[in-house]
Amino acid sequence: MLADYDVQRNVMVPMRDGVALATDIYRPRSSGPLPVLLSRTTYGKDMVAATGLPFLQQDYAVAFQDCRGCFASEGSWTPFFCEADDGHDTIEWLAAQPWSSGAIGIFGGSYSAYVQWLAALARPPHLRAISAYVSPSGVNHSWVYGESGLYQLSLALPWAMLCLATAMQTGQAQAPGLEGCPSGLDVLRESMAVLIGQTSGTPMRDEADRRANALMARRPLADVPELATGAPWYLDWLTHDANAPFWRAVDPAALADQIEVPALQWGGWYDLFVEGGIRNFLAMRETGATPEARTGQRLVIGPWCHSFGHDRAGDLVFGQEALRNGPAMFGNGDLELRWFDHWIKGNAEHPLDTPPVRYFVLGANEWRSAETWPPRPPGVRPLHLGAGLDGTMRCAGGRPSPARSR
């Protein structure tokens, strides 16, 4: 397979502050400058390299990069806050390469989706479009804090712990007290093995849960010296509430009027970030910085979990129809390829004729389209509940009573 591609591993891409980020570059052996698709990750670029194959087959160069302070990259990682400048500088470096056409897109899921929005906020001149899978909106209302404004301890602390354990494994951090803790990469690999049926046991997840539960039981919440040493940024999260100005620079929905590029967003009904994706979509449609940014927003919501790329959620199996409108890595459907062909290649054969919203209807197990979100209801049907003789609410004989006002 790789005989058709040239691969450069661990190309050290310079950032504005002198730190260099390790980047693997895959290029089809075709003549002429190539458009480039970039994916930046904290989970190790080798883990996600296979997701670039569909794009390589369509004559895109694909670059995978370890975020600052992660795996083979230099520097110290501060989640969220270092990604705008690093994304901007990487995009502009890729655009300047002699084998590049200068047209750049970004793709990826979860943290790799969120960093796309942060890069877009920095307005790199050569960024043309993004494709974000299961992306949060601002971390102050969909990750570290929830929509309610409450601190999401059971998400924020375990994630910080797993990221720190990963940095310990790669020699990029020290955290006395976390020795032997499974890393985020360990848990991710185990989870993927369970999803594809290679194993049913989850010893890594179980041990990570045990460690995280012990830390979450501490009071006060800041009594976590295991994290304070190697991840001081975690304590910053605790000292800034959801509405603090501290978070504004990493809230793409709040700053949508600064984002100039179209975005294709993928969410899942069973994903923890589905509300964040909808929030980004609506904000960009309303206040995106350019006409293309406002009209070029697309939202796809499928019956997916955060793991993404599967036809099931827990015990529920939706079949191949669930994958029909998924990203290119699903291998079923060409929506993402046509998206990038339109915005990156300017391909007239792939006009942007897709509806703004596609969503999977649970129960009916079918895809529907809409012009906005939420979809316009076909009509209003009033329903009135009445009390039964035993105090319960029911319809006599199992059939609804005629509607009447009370």
| pLDDT (tens digit per residue) in 180-235 | 999 998 898 888 787 777 877 899 999 999 999 999 999 999 999 999 999 999 99
CA 328, CA 288: separation in Å to the nearest integer? 26
pLDDT at 386: 66
Same domain, 252 and 223: no
Between CA 115 and CA 107 the distance in angstroms is: 10
Same domain, 11 and 130: yes
Tell me: do 224 and 288 sit in the same domain. no
What is the tens place of the pLDDT at every residue in 268-314? 999 999 999 999 999 999 999 999 999 999 999 999 998 776 788 88
- Is pLDDT of 406 > 50? no
Which residues have CB under 8 Å from 66's CB, separation 6+?
21, 22, 23, 40, 41, 42, 44, 45, 72, 73
pLDDT single digits (tens) 4-61? 889 999 999 999 999 999 999 999 987 789 999 999 999 999 999 999 999 999 999 9
**Domain boundaries, position 216:** 153-240
Q: How far apart are CA 276 and CA 256, in angstroms?
A: 13
Pick left, alpha or beta for residue 177 (phi over 0 → left; psi -120 to 50 → alpha; otherwise beta). left
Q: Residue 402 above 60 pLDDT?
A: no
CATH code for the domain in which residue 8 is found: 3.40.50.1820
Residue from 60, 89, 51 nearest 73 by CA: 89
- Report yes or no: 79 and 163 within 8 Å, Cβ to Cβ: yes
Assess whether 114 and 227 both reside in one domain.
Answer: no
Q: How many CB atoms lie within 10 A of CB 29?
A: 8
Model confidence band, residue 348 (pLDDT cutoffs 50, 70, 90): low
User: Do 14 and 96 belong together in one domain?
Assistant: yes
**DSSP secondary structure of 185-227:** HHHHHHHHHHHTTS----HHHHHHHHHHHHHHT-SSTT--HHH
Structure tokens at 82: 């270092």
CA dist., res. 104 & res. 285, Å (int): 22
Shared domain check, 319 and 264: yes
Asked whether residue 128 falls in the same domain as residue 268, the answer is: yes
Got the DSSP string for 148-169? TS-B-HHHHHHHHHHHHHHHHH
Query: What pTM was estimated for this model as a whole?
Result: 0.91
Measured distance CA(319)–CA(262) in Å, rounded: 30
Q: How many domains does the chain have?
A: 2
Q: How many helices (H) and strands (E) does the chain have?
A: 13, 12
DSSP SS3 for 10: strand
The encoded tokens of residue 256 equal: 């949508």
